[in-house]
Structure 1
Amino acid sequence: MDSQALLSKQVDAQLHVVMFPWLAFGHMIPFLELAKLIAQSGNHVSFVSTPRNIDRLPKLPPNLAPFITFVKLPLPHVPNLLENAEATADLPNDKVQFLKVAYDLLQQPMTRFLDAADPDWVIHDFAPYWLGPIATKLGISCAFFSIFNASCVGFFTPGDQLEYRSEPDHFTVPPKWVPFQSKVAFRYFEIKKIISEGLSGDASGVSFKYRLTESIEGCDLLAVRSCFELEPEWLRLLEQLNRKPVIPVGQLAPELDDRGDYGKDETWQQIKEWLDKLARGSVVYVAFGSEAKPNQTEITEIALGLEQSELPFFWVLKMSLDPSDTEMVKLPEGFEERTKGRGVVCTSWAPQLKILSHDSIGGFLSHSGWSSVVEALSLERPLILLTFFADQGLNASFLQEKKMGYLIPRNEGDGSFTREAVAQSLRLVMVEEGGKIYRDKAKEMSSLFRDRDKQKQYMDNFVSYLKAYRRIKNKGVAAS
């Protein structure tokens, strides 16, 4: 077979893709969803993470298990990193910096694995800023996959213009490179809380903005968890700013029957029995993700706000974040007795997607994590938003701008909020006429977020691009 015929055959050959997410479940789960969609068309995926994280990931559907291989790279021990801590969920926020130190020490074992595996592509997160040059040296194509939507990435790029924003106030307005009208920005208390640890250096010696900038600079293409129907102007801007292909891969909404909560049906049955007794659309579901933990003052105001709202509620409450977290929170005295029968406080694991899918759920009080947003909107659940850290503020401002979520009013300086604000926000979005716009928007967006045909089109386009790029690259090699 001559070289041209061989190259033609390679166009349709299945890909081998390596995926390397940051060590946070809010990152690993979307990476796994993308891996499953890539594998559905017969491509092979090597999913790389640490042993304990891989053991905690959802089980694969039987039809995809042959196409996805989990690769365990032991996490190096570093000073100040808690024993057995392999994900951000295992740590208080101030210790995550030491997880980054350990993660950066995966550079050598990751290099050895890539050299031996010789994949067509490595798809990576923002954190391994060092991976692009390694992949280039090994002749492997490199894609940066942003689990953040395009508006969030666009807010922080291009890297060479970031320096003009040196004060918190600079992040409370859209950046100067955004040519269209937008309200996407942090509130003062949000950026003030994260700027010292998120945008400047930490124990790893590398800032968030440097990791993001270098990860984008070192890749061959930028894949974004987004779609043209939701934010076309931001996707176009990303391509203009970064001068490389930007490909949306869809919202990656999980399948309703593929939720990774196998073996825990007894827990769900107990929850379902309680939800079955309540009226359609009457219950507010409350959860703030695996890493956000409201402080005691915030817990008190949320609880008393739920009580004042007089709405039924199901609240998944983390009493502590991890074994080292000694600051246990508590509910207001008499709260559970006063709300008995109307509300449930769950302090253990709960199957979020199953709960959201129940007909009695009428709204979701959320931290604005994008995975939770996707789950809620795919199931027509309107959002009431209470942010805590990281990208949540940008997500919330985007959602509010699009009338896809309602932000609980807060003090702009310190982020404090009242029980009255919680109660009024819940009633507005859940039952009052003034909140109908949010309920209607959730129904409108559900048709987009759960559209499997549309999701397949985005994935077919993405995989086709990966294969076409391989062909062009191989032609170049053959010609030389």
Structure 2
Amino acid sequence: MMSTEIPQLHVMFLPFLGLGHMIPTLDMAKLFGARGVKTTIVTTPVNSPIFSKAIQRISKDLGVQIGIKIINFPCVEVGLPDGCENVDTIPKGETSMEMTINFFKAVSMLQESVEQLLSECKPNCLVADMFFTWANESASKFGIPRLFFNGSCSFSLCVPAACMIHEPHKHVSSDSELFVVPGLPGDIKFTRKQFPEFMLSNDDNNGFAKLLKKTNEEDLKSYGIVFNSFYELEPTYADYCRNVLGKKAWHIGPVGLCNRNFEDKAWRGKQSSIDEHECLKWLSSKKPDSVVYICFGTLAEFSFAQLMEIALGIEASGQDFIWVVRKNKKDEDGNEDWLPEGFEKRIEGKGLIIRGWAPQVLILEHESIGGMVTHCGWNSTLEGVTAGVPMVTCPLFADQFYNEKLVTQVLKIGVSVGVEEMRNMGVSAKREAIEKALKEIMVGDEAEEMKKRAKSLGLMARRAVEDGGSSCSDLNALIQELSSM
């Protein structure tokens, strides 16, 4: 007698090799797995521990099994240091752009290895990150849909898509002249300085610009898009993506809310460089909504002079704060001369500096946090939204200027520090601007209204992932559609 058992749906995830992409991908796999879907994550040897430790906890706590497949990353072959398998580890300095281009060359060379896995594992769907420009081609070879994982939000996909269609940036007289993005609701304005180079360049010899342009084109050709966002946050732009751009799209976030226990929140990505309990104890000594959390993401590389400006701006604002500095910045003599003289003594009890990786979600969820300063990377932005805190926006590159406009112009839960130009390294924010923006979100005339709006969005985010919520329903609908194919 023939079996009528329905085969288990199998989804393979291919995250880009950076913590900001791998962390939400793991959360997605966890969400799919909790609904009975077989899930497999593809990564490289150096990156595998980031997944394996978390997967052990997920298996123990939830009984959800997530598979890992490891492929070699050709770092040495393209001129990268041995073991440079993560964008966060690309050497900084004068050769950083060359090294970044080499890194993306190595990513382009992974196609054959991934297709070998597709042949062996026979998944029903490939969820591939935005930088795998060959993913559509690979998925089509095996007759399966490729879903494009958009590490950002609908708004930040719609802005460049609308600009590629209408090209408003070609009709301004200077790089600093504001233009409105045509066809996009909300009267959204930018300057050419705030756009990535690939949007502006007609130089066919610019390999990196060509790569990013192809990335955008290929992503829009995929079967559909999965967003780490929720419909209520950006309904106008979610509808624009579906109805104007004509894309199938599912908003299943905030995916990070699948992490319920202390360890999953504390050890997302890396182990914290500060004792989580001591950090929370320090926060508990402060009044509700009185502390600013300051963090510029994993890729920001500031000069000593810029760090000095940030420190002086923070101090002048008079606000209690936690400031995350990703690396222990020292000069050749081993001195931390980026800190103003006597700074740490003056801020004793008032400020906490974390040198390295911080338990960001745990910090933001604490009742004493009343605002954050962010580079506007989407993970941090969404974590700020979910925690219900207003933001000071300080974008650096990539989609961060788009995310800033969403926070400040659309949601009205943030204040810009005034960065006017996209840069690969650091920002040019002055201490006076930092001081002013911090005071605006914490004690300014509009602070209470911003806080009310932010807290309302935080509640919406949590409702979205509950049973019957918009993100929960979108994820169930996506799984049902994939199962029926």
**For this structure pair, what is the TM-score category when the shorter chain's length is used for normalisation?**
0.7 to 0.9
Match of 1:440 among 430, 442, 452: 452
Take 1:256 and 1:295, find their aligned partners in 2: how far apart are those partners? 37
- Of 260-269 and 72-81, deviating more is 260-269
- Verify: 1:394 aligned to 2:394, yes or no: no
**3-state SS, counterpart of residue 421 of structure 1:** helix
Take 1:52 and 1:413, find their aligned partners in 2: how far apart are those partners? 30
Amino acid at match of 2:284: D
**3-state SS, counterpart of residue 143 of structure 1:** strand
Asked if the contact 2:46–2:85 (Cα under 8 Å) also holds between the matched residues in 1, the reply is yes
Match of 1:243 among 241, 246, 263: 246
- Of 54-63 and 337-346, deviating more is 54-63
Asked if the contact 2:169–2:192 (Cα under 8 Å) also holds between the matched residues in 1, the reply is no
Instruction: Give CA-to-partner distance per residue, 1:162-201, whole Å, 9 cap, x none.
Output: 77756884995343342x2332x54554337786899987
Instruction: Give CA-to-partner distance per residue, 1:243-273, whole Å, 9 cap, x none.
Output: 3422222322333423251876971122223
RMSD: 3.3
- Verify: 1:44 aligned to 2:38, yes or no: yes
Q: Taking CA–CA contacts closer than 8 Å with sequence separation of 6 or more, which of the two structures ends up with the larger relative contact order?
A: 1
TM-score normalised by the chain length of structure 1: 0.86
TM-score normalised by the chain length of structure 2: 0.85
Match of 2:11 among 17, 42, 46: 17
Unaligned runs of 5+ residues in structure 1 are 474-480
Quick one: structure 1 residues 273 and 265, their matched pair in 2 at CA, closer, same or farther if it must change by over 3 Å? farther
Take 2:209 and 2:193, find their aligned partners in 1: how far apart are those partners? 25
Match of 1:30 among 24, 31, 38: 24
Aligned to 2:384: 376
Q: How does 1:324-335 map to 2 (within 5 A)?
A: 330-335=338-343
Aligned to 1:427: 439
Asked if the contact 2:327–2:355 (Cα under 8 Å) also holds between the matched residues in 1, the reply is yes
Take 1:321 and 1:50, find their aligned partners in 2: how far apart are those partners? 29
**3-state SS, counterpart of residue 76 of structure 1:** coil
Displacement of 1:371? 1.1
Amino acid at match of 2:20: G
Asked if the contact 2:230–2:461 (Cα under 8 Å) also holds between the matched residues in 1, the reply is no
Aligned to 2:321: 313
Take 2:175 and 2:387, find their aligned partners in 1: how far apart are those partners? 36
Asked if the contact 2:149–2:227 (Cα under 8 Å) also holds between the matched residues in 1, the reply is yes
Quick one: structure 1 residues 69 and 396, their matched pair in 2 at CA, closer, same or farther if it must change by over 3 Å? same
Q: How does 1:264-303 map to 2 (within 5 A)?
A: 267-303=275-311
Displacement of 1:39? 0.8
Asked if the contact 1:155–1:174 (Cα under 8 Å) also holds between the matched residues in 2, the reply is no
Instruction: Give CA-to-partner distance per residue, 1:17-59, whole Å, 9 cap, x none.
Output: 0011111211111111111111111111101111212212461
Aligned to 2:82: 83
Displacement of 1:67? 2.4
- Of 307-316 and 417-426, deviating more is 417-426
Number of aligned pairs?
460
Asked if the contact 1:252–1:455 (Cα under 8 Å) also holds between the matched residues in 2, the reply is no
Displacement of 1:359? 2.2
Q: How does 1:30-429 map to 2 (within 5 A)?
A: 30-57=24-51, 59-60=54-55, 61=58, 62-64=60-62, 66-77=64-75, 78-91=77-90, 92=92, 94=97, 95-157=99-161, 161=165, 165=169, 169=175, 173-178=179-184, 180-183=185-188, 185-191=189-195, 206-217=210-221, 219-254=222-257, 255-257=259-261, 258-259=264-265, 261=267, 267-319=275-327, 330-401=338-409, 402-410=411-419, 416-429=428-441
Quick one: structure 1 residues 363 and 163, their matched pair in 2 at CA, closer, same or farther if it must change by over 3 Å? closer
**3-state SS, counterpart of residue 395 of structure 2:** coil
